Amino acid sequence: MPEMHKDLPQEQQRVDHIREEINQKENKLFEKTAQLKENVIELRKTFWDDVTVNLDEPDDVIETEASIKQQAELLAQKETVHGSLAKELKTLNKLKDNPYFGRIDFKEDGEEKEKIYIGIASLMDKEEEDFLIYDWRAPISSLYYDYALGEASYQTLAGEISGEISLKRQFIIRQGKMKAMFDTGLTIGDQLLQEALGNNASTTMRNIVATIQKEQNKIIRNEKSKLLLVQGVAGSGKTSAALQRIAYLMYRYRKQLNPENVMLFSPNPLFTSYINNVLPELGEENVRQTTFYHFVQKKVGDDFSVESPFDQMEYMLTNKHTMTDQIRMQGIEYKSSLAFKQMVDAYLATLHDKGICFRPVLFRGEVLISKEAIADYFYTMESSISLPNRMELVADWLLKELTSIQQEEVSKDWVGEKIELLDKEAYAKAYYKARQQGADSVMDEEAILRKAVVHKMFASMKAEVKDFAFVDVAKTFEQLFKYHPELAELPNSWKDMAAQTVEHIQSSHLQWEDVTPYVYFKGQLLGDMKDRSVRYLVIDEAQDFSAFQFAYVSELFPHTRMTLLGDINQTIYAPISKQNPLLLKDGEEVERITLMKSYRPTKQLVQFTKHFVPGEHKIEPFEREGNKPKLIYVNKETQRKEVLKHQIKDLMNEGYETIALVTKSLQESKHIYDALTGEVPCTLLDEETYTLSKGVLIIPVYLAKGIEFDAVIIPDATNSNYTKEDQTLFYTACTRAMHELVMVANEEPNVFIQEASVGTYKADKK
């Protein structure tokens, strides 16, 4: 820590003053909250005492409803205010420990110099006139992130404000005590960033508001781009910037945006849990978060079981390279492409005139309306009417037909048999209903019961019609692979691919490469509601979206502003191609921001991995020193376990809290876990893992994406395990480490290690 700054006593006095102000505000809020809570409790107790209930006359009923509504609105209003006060108290409590992290002295042209202190939330003085702390998202706070000393400007709704920054200062405050402060001409001084990055990795992602860099600030405050593409190298803070971006948008458009208007696609449930704390830390509610897998799985429905992308990945990494495997691998590539989407579209076009498979409407084992009759009705309509609109018209026709048939069924003998099986409650309801209608005979009660029985049985049929159960979507989709190979320019192995696909469809299973084509097809056939409530969509690890998947998402959210983040060097699931969403061309509505500086790993780790980074990006390391990566040779397989145990022990002795054994596949993870169980306390992470814990973790690389660990051990860094095709996998595994990287090989190390300069790692032969 540098020597004491001359202004530190005065700055500490200001922190003390701020804490006093916060205490006073808290006391006032506690009083308001307590009083309001009592009011809410009392209002709940006496709710019906203050409501006039009179149901004798129609006017009295209206008056009663108005009285209930008024009382409910009063209760809701008080509960909302109470919730708002509780949120304000929570924010004040955070500010008390760490009120702010930065200060700039800014003199607006023609005005007096102002000292601007910046923190995670705004705080005004007791008179509510002047800002003691500015929220980091406020327009004026952008000066702190975007400018060095000298001339500077920022945008407001009223226009541009220009002036001069004469001082930029950064603070490290813990529990209300000034630990350190730095004056700097840079955006974020190395000292503050070193302090943040030098600590152990956390099991949840931290917010980065105190260390936002200028290039990250461009991502956060971007408001104009309909599609923002962020290509960021490993450890560049792209995910953190995306979450701060969401927080900024929620602040900037707080009157128009709510958490339901923002959706985030994360790569897996573990990652969702890892980032779940960032927005609440910043005083915002979490937005809608899901994985693309769970999103499309819901759209598939109950007709199929669905392979997960993790199972597909495991298959790709561990398959035996048989002819069947090779055909599927080619299928995965083709079905990810826009060429296959064009083929699906061409097939859909033929369905306007013929080819849709329908199901008959059955009742009690008999055909009420045949599939041929439904097809005839469908194809007598104008072919210019869209398929979903025609489906709606068919559903309306079927409902009318069922209503007519329902009336005919009431008098049939089977209904009488059903009535005899009814319980006493059903009879009692019929009796009272008959009396309300003025009926007084057993015959009238029986008529009511008959209608009730038939209505109940037809209600479920009508619900199925409304859900388009009369359309056999699966069989119609299957025909794409059986009967329409002439619709597009197809790969040579198409017939074999199609046969594999049909086999799975007929066993009610969709492989992952078929899931998006199926839900797209289903949506085009039956209609897929475009989600207009989502105004901002953020896709993390976007490089793993195939061209087909991104095209599908774009059609589902046509008016939504999107932010795509990822690293083309870490592409794992989707075949790398020029159609990758991250490689879209810049345009009028498309803006690209590239992050080249890597902050997570030490300088030594970056210098090692840059030799085999898949792309052509020149990665810039942050100047944080550490140990060189270590390559340990073992003579035989049995020695590996002892080496792993020894390395884990050494890393734990160094004080590292998260030590990850990152493997190529889950199969390898399980093998390592079995070997170490009983020897070392360790946790196996798989696709069902939803939370990250401290300790020794064993995880396949495709689940470790986006997560950082203090130390990473690669248990099998050999040539036989990581082939030339596994470049992105090995690069991703290495770049999960913040401080230490250890690689173990019992034979020739892989080609990527061989490509690295010998001086960038330390070899240790056992």
Which residue ranges make up the annotated binding site?
232-239
Distance spanning both ends of the chain, measured CA to CA: 39
How far is residue 515's CA from residue 297's CA, in Å, rounded to a whole number? Answer: 8
Please list the alpha-helical segments (H only) found in 685-726: none
How far is residue 658's CA from residue 679's CA, in Å, rounded to a whole number? Answer: 18
| CB within 8 Å of 172: residues ≥ 6 apart | 101, 178, 179, 180, 181, 192, 195
In angstroms, the Cα distances linking 345 to 51, 480, 484, 749 are 59, 11, 12, 47
Of how many residues is the chain composed? 766
How far is residue 619's CA from residue 679's CA, in Å, rounded to a whole number? Answer: 39
| CB within 8 Å of 119: residues ≥ 6 apart | 95, 98, 99, 100, 101, 133, 134, 135, 136
In angstroms, the Cα distances linking 426 to 62, 431, 446, 459 are 31, 9, 11, 17
Cβ proximity of 21 and 132 under 8 Å: yes
The number of angstroms, rounded, from the C-alpha of 191 to the middle of its chain's C-alpha atoms is: 33
| CB within 8 Å of 420: residues ≥ 6 apart | none
How far is residue 232's CA from residue 569's CA, in Å, rounded to a whole number? Answer: 9
Q: Which residues are annotated as a binding site for ATP?
A: 232-239
Give the alpha-carbon dihedral of 538, 540, 542, 544, to 10 degrees. -140
The DSSP bridge pattern shows strands 102-108 and 509-510 to be unpaired
In angstroms, the Cα distances linking 164 to 12, 151, 161, 502 are 26, 4, 10, 69
How far is residue 457's CA from residue 363's CA, in Å, rounded to a whole number? Answer: 9
In angstroms, the Cα distances linking 72 to 58, 67, 750 are 21, 9, 69
Taken in order 689, 694, 698, 701, the sign of the CA dihedral is positive
Q: Which two three-digit tokens encode residue 565?
A: 């983040």
Please list the alpha-helical segments (H only) found in 282-379: 292-300, 309-318, 323-335, 338-350, 371-379
